[in-house]
C-alpha cells in the first residue's frame, strides 16, 4: 500500500482544471433560481442521482465525475444517498412507465429549494425510446426540469459544465 | 454429435444462419427439455415470436448451437421451467410480452410487466391492460424473521430494481428480486426498424456493453444477409471490445473494493478506467464507442495517432496494474471481506449456464470468444481463466486475469491490424432471412437473434443479456451472508438491469 500511496504523492495530482460553466445552461437557469436560495445554500450542493430508465451509459459518466481527473467534491458538489439530503436531482433515462411513480416520490421526498437536471438525450425527450408503450417520455413530462445536459451520454466535462452553471446560479 | 441429431424435428429453416433452426413438434420440444434437465445441453435463450416460441441451446462442450421452434397450440407451449428452473423468468417475460403461456410452469406471476404499461402483451395480441394485481412475494415462514425492502430507487449511482430481503438478525435468509423497472420496450421498437435505427437500439440495451451489443447485432445481420466484413474492420471490432472489457473490469475491481470501504483501490482503478475511455475517445471519437460497430464493418477507422496513444496507455497500465494486484492480494482487511463471501456453487453455474466472471469463477469455462468462437479471436492467442472457489474473491481474480489477457490481445491486434477498407455496405436479400449473433461482453455472452424482411427491415429481434442467467444466482449467493455484504456480492456480479429489463 505504501508504494501506491508514495507514487501518488511524488507524481502530483491528476485533477484537471474545471471547465467554464455551460453558457446555454446559465441562460436556462437564470430564470429558475432566486437570491433567497443562494443565501440559504452557500456554495455547496448535494446531488441525488436517479436512474428513471437509462441504458446505464449516463451512470457510467456520472460516476466518472468522482474520479481523480474531475474530482467533483473539490467544487463543493457531492453525491448523497437519500433524496432527503439532496438539493439537486440528476435524472437519467427516458422515464419508463414503471419508474414514473418512483421518480415522482423521489422528487416529493426532496426538500425545497431543489433543482432537477435532466441528464442525457433520453432524459431530454425520451430519445430513441420515445413513443414506446413502456416509456412516459422525458423527465420534464413527469417532474419540473431546471437544466438539461444533452449527450449520449454527456461526457464528464459536459456534466461538470452544467453543474457549475447550476452552482453559479444557485449558490 | 450435432445438437439437432438428438432432437426430433420436422424441418430446418432454410434462411437461418450461422447455426441451424429446426421446427419441432411437442415430442422434439420435450426432448430438448429433457436434455436441459439432465445437463446434456445449456439453455442459451428462450423467447416468443407469437405464435411461435424459440429456444436456443448450447452443446455441453460449447461446440454447437441450435435453435428449435415450437408453434403454440391455443397460445400455450409445454413449460421448460417445470423441469429446468433457469427458464422460469424467461417464460414469465414471454407471457408478459406476447401472451404465450408456459403450460405447467411453477410460477404464474408476471415478471417484466409491473402493471404500468396500459397495454397487455405488446408483442402479441395487444389488449388494454386491466387493473394490476398486487404482486405476491414468495412466502417466508419462521421465527424472528424480518423483511427489508430496497428500491427501486437505490442509494447510489446505480440502476433501479427492487430487492426484498428476509433476514434473521443480520443473516439473509432469502433475497427475492423484482426487476422490470427500466423496461423500455426495446424489442417492440425494433419491429419495423431500419438497420440504422435498430443498431442504435441494440447499442443502448446496456450502455456498459454497447460495443458487445453492436458487435452481436452486426454478427446477426451479417449472418442473415451473408455479408462479408473487411479484415481491418474485424480487427478493429475486437480492439473496441477489449477496450470496453478493460474499462469495465477496472471499474468493477475498484468498485468491489470500495464496497469493502477500501477507497484507495477505487481511486487507482478509477484512473485506469478513465485512461481507457480517453484512449477509446482518441481512437474512435466516443468514450464508450457507441455506434462504432455497424453491420458490414465499423463506422470509424482508428484515428491518426490512435494506435500510438493505445501503446502509451498499455505501458502505463503495465506499470501500475501489477502493484494494484499486489495491493489487493496483500491487504488482509480486504481479503477478509471477499474470501468465502457470496458463494455460487459450480453446479448452479453450470445449470444456469452463467456466463462471464460469474460462471468462470465457479468452474464454468465458457467464453464465446473461444467456443464457438468468432473472428478475429480464432487467430489470436489468449487464455480463458477459470477458478472454482465461486466467491467474491474468485470473481475479482477472474477480472484481474482477464485484464491481463485483454492487454495481451490488444497488443496482438495492433501488431497485425490489416490495412484496407473498414466497411462493406450490406444489401437486403429480397426475402425474409434470420441470423444469430453471440459475443462475449465483459459480463458474459450476449445473444441476439433476428429476422429481417425482404427489404432489410427488422421483423423481430430478441436480445438476451448474460444477466438473465446471473441475477437468479445472486439470490443464491447472498443466502446466509450478512445484509451488509449484499453490496459487495452485488457488485461482484454487476448484473445489468437495463440489459435484462429491455
CATH number, domain with residue B474 = 3.30.390
Do residue B398 and residue B285 come from a single domain?
A: yes
Interchain contact B51–A (C-beta under 8 A): no
Do residue B100 and residue B160 come from a single domain?
A: no
Do residue B21 and residue B49 come from a single domain?
A: yes
In a domain, B73, yes or no: yes
What contacts B248, CB < 8 A, 6 or more positions away? Answer: B208, B209, B442, B443, B494
Do residue B318 and residue B378 come from a single domain?
A: yes
In a domain, B21, yes or no: yes
Residue indicated by cell numbers 448523497: A80
Do residue B235 and residue B318 come from a single domain?
A: yes
How high is the ipTM of this complex? 0.94
Domain end residue (candidates: B425, B449, B480): B425
What contacts B458, CB < 8 A, 6 or more positions away? Answer: B190, B191, B192, B193, B194, B195, B198, B450, B451, B452
A residues 31-50 lying closer than 8 A (beta carbon) to B: 49-50
In a domain, B22, yes or no: yes
Residues of B in contact with A106 (CB under 8 A): 153
In a domain, B72, yes or no: yes
Domain end residue (candidates: B425, B448, B475): B425
pLDDT tens track, chain B, 502 positions: 689 988 888 899 899 999 999 999 999 999 999 999 999 999 999 999 999 999 999 999 998 999 999 999 999 999 999 999 999 999 999 999 999 999 999 999 999 999 999 999 999 998 998 887 889 999 888 899 999 999 899 888 999 999 999 999 999 999 999 999 999 999 999 999 999 999 999 999 999 999 999 999 999 999 999 999 999 999 999 999 999 999 999 999 999 999 999 999 999 999 999 999 999 999 999 999 999 999 999 999 999 999 999 999 999 999 999 999 999 999 999 999 999 999 999 999 999 999 999 999 999 999 999 999 999 999 999 999 999 999 999 999 999 999 999 999 999 999 999 999 999 999 998 999 999 999 999 999 999 999 999 999 999 999 999 999 999 999 999 999 999 999 999 999 999 999 999 9
Do residue B303 and residue B410 come from a single domain?
A: yes
The structure's pTM equals 0.95
Distances (CA, A) of B435 to A169, B177, B218, B339, B461: 53, 32, 10, 42, 10
In a domain, B296, yes or no: yes
In a domain, B99, yes or no: yes
Interchain contact A22–B (C-beta under 8 A): no
Chain Cα centroid distance, residue B166: 28
In B246-283, which positions are buried (b, 16+ CB within 10 angstroms) versus exposed (e)? bbbbbbbbbbbbbbbebebbbbbbbbbbbbbbebbbbb
Number of domains chain B is built from: 3
Do residue B401 and residue B255 come from a single domain?
A: yes
Do residue B391 and residue B359 come from a single domain?
A: yes
Question: Is the N-terminal amide bond of B488 cis, ω within 30° of 0?
Answer: no
In a domain, B459, yes or no: no
Burial-class residue B484 by CB neighbours within 10 Å (0-12, 13-18, 19+).
exposed
Domain end residue (candidates: B393, B425, B457): B425
Do residue B293 and residue B355 come from a single domain?
A: yes
Contact between B67 and B16 under an 8 Å Cβ cutoff? The reply is yes
Closest CA to B88 of B165, B202, B176: B176
Do residue B417 and residue B491 come from a single domain?
A: no
Closest CA to B81 of B333, B390, B351: B351
CATH of the domain at B71: 3.30.460.80
- Contact between chains at A56 and B330 (C-beta distance less than 8 A): no
Contact between B205 and B183 under an 8 Å Cβ cutoff? The reply is no
- Contact between chains at A59 and B206 (C-beta distance less than 8 A): no
Residues of B in contact with A16 (CB under 8 A): none
Do residue B100 and residue B163 come from a single domain?
A: no
DSSP track, B106-161: S--S-SS--S-SSEE-TTSS-EE--PPPPP-PPP---TTEEEEEE-SS-SSSS---
CATH of the domain at B308: 1.10.645.10
**C-alpha cell belonging to residue B461:** 429481434
Query: Chain B closest CA to A43's CA: distance in Å?
Result: 23
CA distance B383 to B151: 39
Residues of B in contact with A131 (CB under 8 A): 189
In a domain, B90, yes or no: yes
Do residue B261 and residue B306 come from a single domain?
A: yes
Domain with B394, as residue range(s), is 228-425
Residue indicated by cell numbers 430507487: B153
Amino acid at each position: 500500500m505504501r508504494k501506491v500511496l508514495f507514487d501518488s504523492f511524488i507524481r502530483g495530482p491528476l485533477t484537471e482544471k474545471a471547465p467554464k460553466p455551460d453558457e446555454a445552461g446559465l441562460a436556462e437557469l437564470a430564470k429558475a433560481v432566486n437570491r433567497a436560495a443562494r443565501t440559504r445554500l452557500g456554495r455547496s450542493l448535494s446531488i441525488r442521482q436517479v436512474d428513471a430508465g437509462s441504458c446505464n451509459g449516463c451512470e457510467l459518466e456520472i460516476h466518472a465525475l468522482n474520479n481523480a481527473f474531475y474530482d467533483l467534491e473539490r467544487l463543493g458538489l457531492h453525491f448523497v444517498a437519500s433524496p432527503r439530503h439532496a438539493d439537486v436531482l440528476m435524472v437519467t433515462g427516458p422515464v419508463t412507465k414503471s419508474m414514473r411513480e418512483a421518480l415522482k416520490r423521489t422528487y416529493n421526498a426532496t426538500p425545497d429549494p431543489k433543482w432537477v437536471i435532466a441528464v442525457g438525450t433520453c432524459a431530454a425527450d425520451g430519445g430513441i425510446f420515445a413513443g414506446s408503450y413502456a416509456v412516459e417520455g422525458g423527465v420534464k413530462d413527469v417532474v419540473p426540469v431546471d437544466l438539461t445536459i444533452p449527450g449520449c451520454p454527456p461526457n464528464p466535462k459536459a456534466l461538470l459544465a452544467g453543474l457549475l452553471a447550476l452552482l453559479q446560479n444557485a449558490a | 454429435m450435432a445438437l439437432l441429431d438428438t432432437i426430433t424435428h420436422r424441418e430446418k429453416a432454410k434462411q437461418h444462419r450461422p447455426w441451424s433452426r429446426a421446427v419441432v413438434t411437442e415430442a422434439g420440444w420435450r426432448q430438448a427439455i429433457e436434455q436441459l434437465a439432465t445437463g446434456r445441453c445449456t439453455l442459451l435463450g428462450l423467447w416468443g415470436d407469437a405464435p411461435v416460441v424459440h429456444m436456443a441451446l448450447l452443446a455441453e462442450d460449447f461446440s454447437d448451437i441450435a435453435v428449435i421452434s415450437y408453434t403454440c397450440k391455443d397460445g400455450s407451449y409445454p413449460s421448460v421451467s417445470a423441469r429446468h428452473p433457469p427458464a422460469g423468468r424467461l417464460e414469465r417475460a414471454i407471457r408478459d410480452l406476447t401472451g404465450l403461456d408456459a403450460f405447467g410452469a411453477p410460477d404464474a406471476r408476471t415478471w417484466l410487466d409491473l402493471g404500468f404499461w396500459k397495454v397487455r402483451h405488446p408483442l402479441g395480441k395487444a389488449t388494454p391492460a386491466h387493473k394490476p394485481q398486487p404482486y405476491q412475494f414468495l412466502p417466508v415462514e419462521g421465527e424472528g424473521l424480518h423483511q427489508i425492502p430496497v428500491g427501486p430507487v437505490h442509494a447510489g449511482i446505480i440502476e433501479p430494481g427492487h430487492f426484498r430481503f428476509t433476514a434473521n438478525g443480520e443473516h439473509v435468509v432469502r433475497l427475492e428480486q423484482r426487476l422490470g423497472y427500466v423496461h423500455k420496450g426495446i424489442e417492440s421498437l425494433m419491429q419495423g426498424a431500419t438497420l440504422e435505427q435498430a443498431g442504435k437500439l441494440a447499442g443502448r440495451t446496456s450502455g456498459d456493453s454497447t460495443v458487445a451489443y453492436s458487435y452481436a447485432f452486426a454478427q446477426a445481420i451479417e449472418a442473415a444477409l451473408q455479408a462479408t466484413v473487411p479484415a481491418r474492420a474485424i480487427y478493429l471490432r475486437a480492439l473496441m471490445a477489449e477496450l470496453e472489457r478493460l474499462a469495465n473490469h477496472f471499474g468493477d475491481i475498484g468498485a468491489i473494493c470500495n464496497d469493502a470501504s477500501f477507497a484507495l483501490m477505487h481511486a487507482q482503478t478509477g484512473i485506469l478506467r478513465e485512461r481507457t475511455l480517453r484512449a477509446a475517445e482518441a481512437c474512435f471519437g466516443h468514450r464508450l464507442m457507441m455506434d462504432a460497430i455497424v453491420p458490414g464493418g465499423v463506422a470509424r477507422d482508428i484515428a491518426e495517432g490512435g494506435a500510438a496513444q493505445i501503446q502509451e496507455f498499455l505501458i502505463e497500465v503495465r506499470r501500475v496494474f501489477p502493484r494494484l494486484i499486489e495491493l489487493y492480494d496483500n491487504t488482509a482487511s480486504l481479503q477478509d471481506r471477499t474470501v468465502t463471501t457470496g458463494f455460487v456453487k459450480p453446479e448452479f453455474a453450470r445449470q444456469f449456464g452463467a456466463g462471464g466472471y460469474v460462471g468462470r469463477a465457479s468452474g464454468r469455462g465458457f467464453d464465446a470468444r473461444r467456443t464457438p468462437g468468432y473472428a478475429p479471436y480464432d487467430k489470436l492467442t489468449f487464455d480463458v481463466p477459470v477458478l472454482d472457489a465461486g466467491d467474491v474473491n474468485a470473481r475479482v481474480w477472474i477480472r484481474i486475469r482477464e485484464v491481463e489477457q485483454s492487454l495481451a490481445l490488444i497488443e496482438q491486434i495492433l501488431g497485425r491490424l490489416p490495412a484496407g477498407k473498414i466497411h462493406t455496405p450490406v444489401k437486403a436479400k429480397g426475402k425474409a432471412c434470420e441470423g444469430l449473433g453471440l459475443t462475449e461482453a465483459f459480463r458474459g455472452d450476449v445473444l441476439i437473434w433476428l429476422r429481417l424482411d425482404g427489404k432489410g427491415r427488422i421483423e423481430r429481434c430478441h436480445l438476451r443479456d448474460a444477466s438473465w442467467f446471473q441475477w437468479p444466482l445472486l439470490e443464491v449467493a447472498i443466502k446466509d451472508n450478512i445484509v451488509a455484504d449484499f453490496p459487495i456480492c452485488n457488485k461482484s456480479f454487476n448484473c445489468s438491469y437495463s440489459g435484462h429489463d429491455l
